[in-house]
């Protein structure tokens, strides 16, 4: 092969077919031995003829683009990079140094060292395979959504002789870049593409081999403009049904029988505004369900669900059957404060007003509960504009969401998007209100994680054995929480707050 593509071991996993377990890769070492933790959260993807059966979607896109251009390229396990005689290595990154929101939050709270994603990323570069590849004069190109972290750590790039770091959607340039590398030409050290340089739909190829958990993109970009998000800067593009169908079929033909429809807001599929198109959302789900046994959504928004709640009821009729009893998505609540919505995420509530945002979240939560949609939600802690009053409003919203079957994960602010020049929120900046919020989330999550874990592992008999192990993990967290006095209700947390006190 001329080009090998890979990612570290935390990404070369399908997390037992349960994408949400991938969150575990951002945890630092903890109470479970590393081997057991790895088995539970990021076991290696099984091999087919010596190659990974599934691979991260981003790698599959690059592979397809290179193969279409006549370059002999393929995805390999990280320890195989020197075994194919390749001259160029492409590495895909999500959170290479553990500086993403979930890693920094875990690390700040647990204080037990480097997150696994960062550890395994560095292990790739320290491996004998990488050493051998470089000794032969191989060139290394790194890309992917987490590549921005290199801006703060170019020393790492020098230490491990990384030739080029590519920041942006790569489909337009990737062939030229890899050809240059194959010809032994000098590569640009750091390429940063502007959102206006994003590829058109025609320039984005269809994947040729299966993606992790059958994930297929249905669109790119987001119209909401949250200040802390880099996705929003990119143009909004929706894939036509035919393109989506081809990728679903690639996965199905290779034995992947579930899919994750990926977009920043699946509810907005095919829409040019923030108003969902019922016809298009139903059609894309029908298409996916015709081909796949199970469907999940990567992301959806509370505002879109509250705008057209009937869509969720109808999607439930399409998705839920004898093969799946619920479906999931990641959803950003981010805050319960209308003031903070106005300041940092002005279009988050649209077409409603920011003042209505907490009500929108509650309404959408009710719709999802009634339709067996179970999301993993995020809250942002420590946004630069955040005040104590904002945190109190979020705490109040958490109280209202206690019966919402969901996981709600607080994440520390990380400088991205329009706020990329601000500083990370650090654990030592947490005040009592932040702690109260984190504790509320922990209680909510332990309660619902036990219930969700039961359902999560019911679909496949082979996974029934895993269930007790996850229950054990939840029990350990609960036990730690009790030991630290944060799980049981305590009087101190019931004290009403006074703003500015
Ligand atoms: S809604 Fe989500 S994807 Fe869209 S801009 Fe806001 S944070 Fe980014």
Which range (165-169, 254-258, 364-368, 449-453) has the least confidence?
Answer: 449-453
For residue 52, CA distances in Å to 10, 44, 48, 60, 273 come to 13, 9, 6, 11, 39
Residue 458 has pLDDT above 70, yes or no: no
Q: How confident is the model at residue 319 (pLDDT cuts 50, 70, 90)?
A: very high
Task: Tell me, in angstroms, the distance from the centre of ligand 1 to residue 299's CA.
Answer: 10
Task: Tell me, in angstroms, the distance from the centre of ligand 1 to residue 351's CA.
Answer: 15
Q: What is the mean pLDDT of residues 179-189?
A: 97
Our answer on whether the CB atom of 167 is closer than 6 Å to any ligand 1 atom is: no
Residue 495 has pLDDT above 70, yes or no: no
* pLDDT at res. 32: 86
Residue 460 has pLDDT above 80, yes or no: no
Q: What is the mean pLDDT of residues 186-204?
A: 93
Calpha distance 271→17 (Å, rounded): 30
| Nearest Cα residue to atom 3 of ligand 1 | 264
Q: What is the mean pLDDT of residues 207-235?
A: 92
Choose the residue to mutate in 145, 224, 265 for probing ligand 1, maximizing ligand atoms within 8 Å of C-beta: 224
For residue 351, CA distances in Å to 202, 265, 338, 348, 367 come to 31, 14, 14, 9, 18
**Buried b vs exposed e over 375-407: b needs ≥16 C-beta within 10 Å?**
bbbbbbbbbebbbbebbbbbbebbeebeebbbb
Our answer on whether the CB atom of 232 is closer than 6 Å to any ligand 1 atom is: yes
Q: How confident is the model at residue 299 (pLDDT cuts 50, 70, 90)?
A: very high
Tens-digit pLDDT profile for residues 42-83: 999 999 999 999 999 999 999 999 999 999 999 999 999 999
Q: What is the mean pLDDT of residues 151-162?
A: 96
Q: Is 144 left (phi over 0), alpha (psi -120 to 50) or beta?
A: left
Q: How confident is the model at residue 473 (pLDDT cuts 50, 70, 90)?
A: confident
Calpha distance 43→21 (Å, rounded): 11
Q: pTM to 2 decimals?
A: 0.93
Residue 432 has pLDDT above 60, yes or no: yes
Q: Which is the closest atom of ligand 1 to the Cα of 301?
A: 1
Q: What is the mean pLDDT of residues 216-229?
A: 94
Our answer on whether the CB atom of 332 is closer than 6 Å to any ligand 1 atom is: yes
Q: How confident is the model at residue 487 (pLDDT cuts 50, 70, 90)?
A: low
Residue 153 has pLDDT above 70, yes or no: yes
Residue 498 has pLDDT above 50, yes or no: no
Q: How confident is the model at residue 453 (pLDDT cuts 50, 70, 90)?
A: confident
Task: Tell me, in angstroms, the distance from the centre of ligand 1 to residue 451's CA.
Answer: 29
* pLDDT at res. 308: 98
Choose the residue to mutate in 145, 230, 232 for probing ligand 1, maximizing ligand atoms within 8 Å of C-beta: 232
Calpha distance 123→1 (Å, rounded): 23
Q: What is the mean pLDDT of residues 292-310?
A: 98
| Nearest Cα residue to atom 8 of ligand 1 | 229
Task: Tell me, in angstroms, the distance from the centre of ligand 1 to residue 165's CA.
Answer: 25
Q: What is the mean pLDDT of residues 241-259?
A: 98
Calpha distance 133→139 (Å, rounded): 8
Q: Which is the closest atom of ligand 1 to the Cα of 230?
A: 8
- Indicate the domain borders of the chain: 1-198
Our answer on whether the CB atom of 226 is closer than 6 Å to any ligand 1 atom is: yes
In 394-480, beta strands by DSSP E:
407-412
Task: Tell me, in angstroms, the distance from the centre of ligand 1 to residue 47's CA.
Answer: 35
Our answer on whether the CB atom of 224 is closer than 6 Å to any ligand 1 atom is: yes
Domain 1-198 fold: Rossmann fold (3.40.50)
Residue 501 has pLDDT above 70, yes or no: no
Residue 137 has pLDDT above 90, yes or no: yes
Task: Tell me, in angstroms, the distance from the centre of ligand 1 to residue 57's CA.
Answer: 20
Our answer on whether the CB atom of 381 is closer than 6 Å to any ligand 1 atom is: no
Tens-digit pLDDT profile for residues 339-357: 999 999 999 999 999 999 9
Task: Tell me, in angstroms, the distance from the centre of ligand 1 to residue 226's CA.
Answer: 5
Our answer on whether the CB atom of 229 is closer than 6 Å to any ligand 1 atom is: yes
Task: Tell me, in angstroms, the distance from the centre of ligand 1 to residue 264's CA.
Answer: 7
| Nearest Cα residue to atom 1 of ligand 1 | 224
Q: Which is the closest atom of ligand 1 to the Cα of 334?
A: 7
User: What is the rounded average pLDDT for all residues in the chain?
Assistant: 92
Task: Tell me, in angstroms, the distance from the centre of ligand 1 to residue 232's CA.
Answer: 6
- 272: exposed, middle or buried (Cβ count in 10 Å: 0-12, 13-18, 19+): exposed
Q: Which percentage of the chain shows pLDDT scores above 90?
A: 77
Residue 231 has pLDDT above 50, yes or no: yes
């Amino acid at each position: 092969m001329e080009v090998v593509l890979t990612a570290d071991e935390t990404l070369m996993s399908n997390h037992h077919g349960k994408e949400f377990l991938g969150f575990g890769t951002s945890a630092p070492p903890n109470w479970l031995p590393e081997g057991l933790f790895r088995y539970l959260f990021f076991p290696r993807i099984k091999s087919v003829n010596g190659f990974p059966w599934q691979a991260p979607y981003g790698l599959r896109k690059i592979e397809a683009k290179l193969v279409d251009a006549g370059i002999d390229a393929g995805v390999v396990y990280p320890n195989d990079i020197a075994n194919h005689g390749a001259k160029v290595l492409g590495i895909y990154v999500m959170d290479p140094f553990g500086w993403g929101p979930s890693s920094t939050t875990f690390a700040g709270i647990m204080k037990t060292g480097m997150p696994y994603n960062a550890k395994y990323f560095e292990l790739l570069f320290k491996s004998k395979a990488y050493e051998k590849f470089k000794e032969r004069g191989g060139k290394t190109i790194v890309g992917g959504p987490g590549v921005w972290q290199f801006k703060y750590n170019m020393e790492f790039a020098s230490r491990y002789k990384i030739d080029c770091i590519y920041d942006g959607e790569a489909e337009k340039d990737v062939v030229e870049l890899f050809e240059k590398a194959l010809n032994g030409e000098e590569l640009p050290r750091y390429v940063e593409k502007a959102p206006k340089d994003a590829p058109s739909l025609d320039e984005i190829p269809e994947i040729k081999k299966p993606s992790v958990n059958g994930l297929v993109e249905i669109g790119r970009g987001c119209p909401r403009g949250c200040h802390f998000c880099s996705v929003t800067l990119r143009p909004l593009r929706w894939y036509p049904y035919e393109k989506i169908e081809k990728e679903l079929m690639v996965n199905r033909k290779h034995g992947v029988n579930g899919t994750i429809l990926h977009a920043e807001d699946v509810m907005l599929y095919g829409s040019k505004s923030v108003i969902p198109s019922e016809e298009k959302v139903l059609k894309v789900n029908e298409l996916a369900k015709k081909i796949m046994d199970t469907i999940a959504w990567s992301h959806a928004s509370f505002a879109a669900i509250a705008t057209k709640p009937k869509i969720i009821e109808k999607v439930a009729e399409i998705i839920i059957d004898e093969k799946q009893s619920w479906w999931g998505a990641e959803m950003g609540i981010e805050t319960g404060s209308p003031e903070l919505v106005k300041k940092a995420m002005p279009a988050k509530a649209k077409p409603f007003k920011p003042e209505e945002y907490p009500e929108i979240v509650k309404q959408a939560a009710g719709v999802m509960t009634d339709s067996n949609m179970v999301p993993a939600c995020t809250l942002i802690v420590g946004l630069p504009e955040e005040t104590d009053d904002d945190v109190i409003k979020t705490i109040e919203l958490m109280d209202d969401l206690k019966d919402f079957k969901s996981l709600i994960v607080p994440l520390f602010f990380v400088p991205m998007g329009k706020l990329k020049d601000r500083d990370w929120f650090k654990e030592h900046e947490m005040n009592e209100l932040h702690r109260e919020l984190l504790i509320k989330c922990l209680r909510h999550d332990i309660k619902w994680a036990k219930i969700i874990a039961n359902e999560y592992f019911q679909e496949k008999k082979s996974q029934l054995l895993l269930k007790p192990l996850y229950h054990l993990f939840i029990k350990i967290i609960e036990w730690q929480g009790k030991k630290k006095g944060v799980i049981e209700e305590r009087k101190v947390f019931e004290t009403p707050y006074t703003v500015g006190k």
